[in-house]
Structure 1
Amino acid sequence: MREIPGPHFNHVSTGRLPSGQSCVARHLPHSQTYWELKATLPKGRPVFKRQEIVIGGEVFDVYFRPILDCVKALYNDPEFTHDLVFAPERHYSDANKTARLFHDLHTGKWWWSTQKTLERQRPGATVVPVIISTDKTQVTLFRNKSAYPVYMTIRNIPKDIRRKPSQQAFMIIGYIPTARLEHIKVAAARRRALSNLYHACMRKILAPLRTPGLDGIKMASGDGVVRRCHPIMAVFAGDYPEQMLAAGVKAGECPTCPQPRDELGNLDDVYDVRDLTAVLEALAKAEGNATEFTRACTAAGIKPIHKPFWEDLPFVNIFLSITPDILHQLYQGVIKHVIAWVKEAYGAVEIDARCRRLPPNHNTRLFLKGITSLSHLPLPGGLSPLRLLNSFLERFHQNKSIFVTLGIRAHFNIPKLHNISHYTLFIELFGTLDNFNTETTERLHIDFTKNAYRASNRKDEYLQMTLWIKRREKVLRHAKFMTKWPSVYGVTLAALVNKYGAREFREAFARFMVAFRNPVLTARQIEHNAADFSLPFQSVSVYHKIKVWNEDSFGREFSNDIMDVVHAKPGYTDKHGRLVGGRFNTLLANEGTGEHTGVKGYRVGQVRVVFTLTNTAWERVFPSGSPQPPRHLAYIEWFSKFPNSPDPNHGMYSISRPSS
């Protein structure tokens, strides 16, 4: 636990690159894999189990993975080793610590308070916040066939990694039965049975978290460090129907507070969070008189659920764990409603005409055909301070009566609109809302449910779906940890000069070797010693393409990274005898002092060769026991440095290629 004064940004810094017009650079993102660091692969993700759940005398099959093994699989995945967060932090925008920042979950109040509680009970705890998400989805276009997946991830993995499906930070841990119980003719009884079925399955899946959440369990991260970890369910993410089902409240109500449904549109009277103590006391009467149990639940503001899945989970307050769903509540809810109201108030013709009259601007996206025909309206990026968020919400409620006056709305008792009043609370508890946006799990439906179902023969599909997922995960793990093969083997040093344009490869590698072995030498000493260095190899293995992840240029933690490709391939003759020109990409390298803006501290270079040495040559150059650089190196020709100021005529920086 620590406090960080501002300004605070998370960013990846790189070391200083060697100087000179051409050099061997070791600071490019490389494809060094876990296979090169350990002799064996880590354990894979656990297999699915099938168990029977009995509800109302009927037997249902539930497929799920042991959740503790799932938590361990994510926690010790070497792909996440260097990014894991193990302790909460307080971040501030000023050195006096007067304005607190909230972004990832470890900066919120929930982790900090939970850590303090655990430290008082058992010092030395490492909290592993678990996020659970459920969402029923259609798997066929016809016949109304559906599946009910359960997803999980841990919040020790930063959000910019969690939200990328390619990173596989989310794991499917189970399928809930989708029975409709049509044999139960009374609608109210059928709804209660479906609710009990859901909670019974979720309780079976999450029950292993009870004891480790309190007492802890030893777990090793990808670097082999063993800590006493406490896996605790921190967040339940789902759309509004899922929130109602998980919290056990009636449709049309708020899952967080007990504000009456006919007062949801009133911002003046904001209720406190539902009383968890009163709810647990009511649930404790489930084994007694049925009438008394129902009355107690009604008085506590929940449905009479028999043993909800969160009842015995440590440190869980379900009414605070159910976080806002900005996809369905905000993007597809409130904003969609407001646009419809404005369209009805002004008319689509006038709104579209105003959009078309907007002047062009490189910072503004123009909708030359208007906006009324759009099905999805993109929102600008960035975050507003919490005080502005509350201020804008108050302004909306102060002026919303215009829609009543125009006869567009009769009331604003809309749960999705009311939920915005709780946004500040959840941002302070768990960080910004993109930490638990259901857009991620909606995207996972394709990989883990729809594609899995289509791969089955539609008979006893869950057995086949779980087997398909397991095999797919093995293929992905194999591709992730196995070493990538070079594009060309045995490229001679002469070919590096003639075909790749690496004119000073020998000299550059010699300077790199001398500087790496003796980092305290001056540039003059490096040049002098490199003159006597003899290369112990005559060929290298070359890669013609590498993939790199670029962080946001402004250091914004909530923005998406961009995957890019660097090509370094010489010309060749295709199968039709035509000459295809070579492709050697340029890049912008941080020399170690570059900031998030401006060109100071950066250098433009052209990648000529990306290469590695054979094991025999590597052992000669870097004997066992000596410091080891990355196995993948690059030869780069540097352009001239950026001038102190841009050209006054066109406002751009002029640089030149190295002289031949």
Structure 2
Amino acid sequence: MREPRDLIDPAFRQYWNELLTPDLLHQLIKGTFKDHLVAWVINYITLTAESEREAKRILDDIDRRIASVPAFPGLRRFPQGRNFKQWTGNDSKALMKACAIRFVSRNVFLPVLTGYVPDKMIRCLDAFLEFAYLARRPSHDTTSLDAMDAALARFCELRSIFVETGVRPNGFALPRQHALLHYTRMIKLFGSPNGVCTSISESKHIAAVKRPWRASNRNNPLLQILRTNTRLTKLAALRVELGRRGLLHGDLISYALRKVGLAPPQDAQLEREELHANEQD
């Protein structure tokens, strides 16, 4: 059976990456950071440790350091370290932020890994995180694009440490990392990657597929998912219409009291509530 990439005309195969817009979620965050760098660091520790028990001790200590990040607004804590049941894009972004805020400063070691990995590997991670946060900016100019190119050049140079240590003996024929080389050009063509990232549709996927699937009985779930989405859409439309007609103000008891003459009319009651609110302000 032919591979999908074999179906592409060889004359255009070398340019296919240039036809794709940047994807921060799958190329940068979950791709290069989670699937590549985090996994490579763990592999390095496993390969160089004196024993399996020693490797486990080192990884547990790294988890302890990650878990020691103090509470701070906008910064997620990881009490369990890096041991997630399932890595999501938000998990990866939050861990990158924790590393960037707590452990990373420009051209300075990552204390969470200090003593366990070579300095060159630390600087490689530093260069990638700098590129990643520059790429995630909502707007770009010539200065930011030049900084992205410089950070990416350092990352591509320093990642050779993974070849030298035997983690990646066959090099870096990795489409997701190769795509990073086209980021600045694509930003010039299409604007900030935030506007073309698959995380936009991913958030819709959660509401339209994952949650309805969890609410189903797993038996022929597709029809149940479609029915759930249809009903939720109709309920949302009904709520808008009822709100437009003013039928969502007050509650059932107030309505019943007005009907029997034990409460003022709705308009008078609303005016009284607004007046009371203005007096409190």
Cα distance in 2, alignment partners of residues 373 and 323 from structure 1: 29
- The 3 A distance-change label for structure 1 pair 369 and 479 is closer
Q: Is the 8 A contact 2:18 2:182 kept in 1?
A: no
Cα distance in 2, alignment partners of residues 469 and 250 from structure 1: 38
Cα distance in 2, alignment partners of residues 467 and 343 from structure 1: 44
What are structure 2's unaligned runs of at least 5 residues?
Answer: 46-57, 98-132
Q: Structure 2 matches for 1:348-367, cutoff 5 A?
A: 348-352=59-63, 354-355=65-66, 360=70, 362=72, 367=78
- The 3 A distance-change label for structure 1 pair 609 and 372 is same
What is the number of equivalent residue pairs in this alignment?
203
When normalised by structure 1's length, the TM-score is 0.26
Is the aligned partner of 1:328 residue 2:26? yes
**Deviations along 1:35-61, whole A, 9 cap, x unmatched?**
xxxxxxxxxxxxxxxxxxxxxxxxxxx
How far residue 446 of structure 1 moved from its aligned partner, in angstroms, is 4.6
How far residue 538 of structure 1 moved from its aligned partner, in angstroms, is 10
Q: Is the 8 A contact 2:62 2:81 kept in 1?
A: yes
Quote the residue 1:401 is aligned against.
160
Is the aligned partner of 1:389 residue 2:32? no
How far residue 415 of structure 1 moved from its aligned partner, in angstroms, is 0.6
Greater fraction helix = 2
Quote the residue 2:120 is aligned against.
none
Is the aligned partner of 1:635 residue 2:268? no
Q: Is the 8 A contact 1:448 1:469 kept in 2?
A: yes
What are structure 1's unaligned runs of at least 5 residues?
Answer: 1-186, 192-244, 254-296, 303-317, 497-536, 544-607, 612-632, 639-660
Cα distance in 1, alignment partners of residues 217 and 84 from structure 2: 36
Q: Is the 8 A contact 2:17 2:179 kept in 1?
A: no
**Which SS does the other structure have where 1:407 is aligned?**
coil
Q: Which amino acid aligns with 1:345?
A: Y
Cα distance in 2, alignment partners of residues 469 and 369 from structure 1: 35
Q: Structure 2 matches for 1:18-29, cutoff 5 A?
A: none
Cα distance in 2, alignment partners of residues 457 and 341 from structure 1: 40
- The 3 A distance-change label for structure 1 pair 320 and 415 is closer
Q: Which amino acid aligns with 2:167?
A: I
Quote the residue 1:299 is aligned against.
11
Q: Which moved more, 1:327-336 or 1:360-369?
A: 360-369
Cα distance in 1, alignment partners of residues 148 and 22 from structure 2: 14
**Which SS does the other structure have where 2:268 is aligned?**
strand
Cα distance in 1, alignment partners of residues 12 and 183 from structure 2: 24
How far residue 408 of structure 1 moved from its aligned partner, in angstroms, is 1.0
Quote the residue 2:123 is aligned against.
none
Structure 2 residue aligned with 1:344, among 34, 43, 48?
43
Quote the residue 1:428 is aligned against.
188
Cα distance in 2, alignment partners of residues 415 and 422 from structure 1: 11
Quote the residue 1:280 is aligned against.
none
Q: Is the 8 A contact 1:356 1:370 kept in 2?
A: yes
When normalised by structure 2's length, the TM-score is 0.54
Q: Structure 2 matches for 1:620-659, cutoff 5 A?
A: 635=278, 637-638=280-281
How far residue 351 of structure 1 moved from its aligned partner, in angstroms, is 2.7
How far residue 396 of structure 1 moved from its aligned partner, in angstroms, is 1.0
Quote the residue 2:175 is aligned against.
415
How far residue 434 of structure 1 moved from its aligned partner, in angstroms, is 2.3
Cα distance in 2, alignment partners of residues 332 and 356 from structure 1: 20
How far residue 399 of structure 1 moved from its aligned partner, in angstroms, is 0.9
- The 3 A distance-change label for structure 1 pair 477 and 430 is farther
Cα distance in 2, alignment partners of residues 427 and 413 from structure 1: 23
Cα distance in 2, alignment partners of residues 541 and 366 from structure 1: 47
**Deviations along 1:545-599, whole A, 9 cap, x unmatched?**
xxxxxxxxxxxxxxxxxxxxxxxxxxxxxxxxxxxxxxxxxxxxxxxxxxxxxxx
- The 3 A distance-change label for structure 1 pair 465 and 362 is closer
Is the aligned partner of 1:440 residue 2:138? no
How far residue 402 of structure 1 moved from its aligned partner, in angstroms, is 1.2
**Which SS does the other structure have where 1:437 is aligned?**
coil
Give the number of the structure whose alpha-carbon radius of gyration is greater.
1
Is the aligned partner of 1:458 residue 2:220? yes
Greater fraction strand = 1
Is the aligned partner of 1:486 residue 2:249? yes
Structure 2 residue aligned with 1:540, among 249, 253, 268?
268
**Which SS does the other structure have where 2:166 is aligned?**
coil
Q: Structure 2 matches for 1:575-654, cutoff 5 A?
A: 609-610=273-274, 635=278, 637-638=280-281
- The 3 A distance-change label for structure 1 pair 409 and 456 is closer
Question: Which of structures 1 and 2 has the larger relative contact order (alpha carbons within 8 angstroms, sep 6+)?
Answer: 2
- The 3 A distance-change label for structure 1 pair 372 and 636 is same
Identity fraction in percent: 27
- The 3 A distance-change label for structure 1 pair 393 and 636 is farther
Q: Which moved more, 1:466-475 or 1:333-342?
A: 466-475
Q: Which amino acid aligns with 1:477?
A: A
Cα distance in 1, alignment partners of residues 43 and 83 from structure 2: 11
